[in-house]
Structure 1
């Protein structure tokens, strides 16, 4: 039987540095999500917005949000993905969690911390990618600024889906659009980009442009509005495309060294 993955991309505004209010907000948004959805993806730092002052957030909030994600995933029988401010062992991380309905599938710490905003000064960067097996799909989740670095995103693990959660500003949204499509084409994978919308506490505007692209770079869904976007990923289409166009067989072999 053909495998399909129904996904929901939650494109929303985010309340500034208010985890409790954001959890309540996203709970309500998830109430409206179609019951046939398998995987729900939230934006980067969905409980605080893109703050460079993590000390303003109670250190326990990260664990509270992970528990909230587990509750939501189990109650709705979905996978749930999103990043947050997370404190561990004396360090702050921009950490993405992938939570399944029965268990935590893994977490990823943002590797490319955004130097333009000083993220590298306050958040400890990650050192490794993760690949999550979920309902017949191999999924690689990354975060925002990682999108600009194709070597890090390169499909050397034979993943099927590449996810980017983001707070990507309107002023550079053309780059977001172009790079999402490029990552899909060059890696012959589905690419899902989930961005926020609205204006943050610092006056930065966000225009969304959350989208899903197939392995040929075709647009499956796209929006500039505050909404939940839906798309269905077909494993058979991905397999057929890769069999007909064996571009991944010719990819460069490399390993990253610090």
Structure 2
């Protein structure tokens, strides 16, 4: 097999007409790969994505061909998948105010050009989920920037932009609907979309994982501050306490206790969502 791309978390190999997507235990924050892996992270991301692909199969088809027809050394962390022509827009849905969306709102009263009511605070539930796309900048070439809906229309065309918005919000709506029954709030999520050879839009990469979504414990949700995160925000918060790191390469080593706490959060969200024990 030929290694086509090595990203912040995943390695992509060509195997004939198929791709093999391998999730590593690498973790990145602020677009910087940290030198310390999180044990089992790659397997958790893969297995949770597969669970979500199945849950949302009636919303949109996905790129998965097989979760078992992969090299033995990558069992559990790899997916054989279809090649897609990926959409060069980061498709993000937000239902709550947090992260970069909060900063954008505090500055402009809007996110991606979507005007929001005055007086919202960190952790506020939005009146309705919104589509807040960003640019998709290649690794090492800067950071993604918010796009307005008009920007998306200019990039992909009006019909495709409407389709991206509809799909993104429906995936978020359905995902949030499922998560609520498990005591979890999905504050926001990023999905990857691409077109198959026949033009069909399909879900790719990962879906509704602690790397691509902001998960909160619903019974502890309280607007006005940070929430109990069940995702890698815990690691971002830890890094913000460092006075000698400016969020550029090289990333800082992660202490054992922070590694364990991060891993535990990934396991907790997997077990709460799927109802299965992580062995």
TM-score (norm 1): 0.27
TM-score by length of 2: 0.26
- Structure index of larger Rg: 2
